């Protein structure tokens, strides 16, 4: 008859198995996706974004947050004014 301790040890040494491998793979993929989407959290910004980059970000934010056309237009005009002020400040 087999020793109960050796069967328990063999079970522990068997590894993750198929389900465990899939769970570990899902965790790694989830962590990679989070790191990709939130890279600004772990990457230090060396310099502030350019005026054009700030304008593009502002306009994209306007499209995401506003649903009515007049609101979007007003937001984009505000972004354009901010971009002009940024250009003036950098000169």
Count of structural domains within the chain: 2
d(CA 16, CA 9): 14
Say yes or no: 17 and 3 in one domain.
yes
**For 8-35, what is each residue's pLDDT tens digit?**
666 666 777 888 889 999 999 999 999 8
Q: What pTM was computed for the model?
A: 0.47
Mean predicted confidence (pLDDT) in 51-80: 90
Q: What is the pLDDT of residues 70-88, one digit of tens each?
A: 898 999 999 999 999 988 8
- Calculate Rg over the CA atoms of the chain: 27
* Domain membership of residue 64 as a residue range: 47-91
Higher-pLDDT residue of 43, 25? 25
What pLDDT does 30 receive?
Answer: 95
Does 78 share its domain with 59?
Answer: yes
* 29 conformational bin, left if phi > 0, alpha if psi -120 to 50, beta if neither: alpha
Are 10 and 36 found together in one domain? Answer: yes
């Amino acid at each position: 008859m087999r020793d109960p301790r050796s069967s328990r040890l063999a079970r522990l040494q068997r590894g993750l198995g198929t389900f465990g491998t899939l769970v570990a793979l899902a965790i790694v993929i989830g962590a990679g996706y989070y790191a990709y989407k939130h890279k600004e959290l772990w990457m230090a910004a060396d310099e502030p974004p350019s005026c054009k980059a700030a304008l593009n970000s502002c306009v994209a934010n306007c499209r995401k947050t506003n649903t009515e056309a007049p609101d979007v237009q007003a937001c984009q005009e505000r972004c354009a004014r901010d971009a002009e002020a940024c250009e003036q400040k950098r000169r």
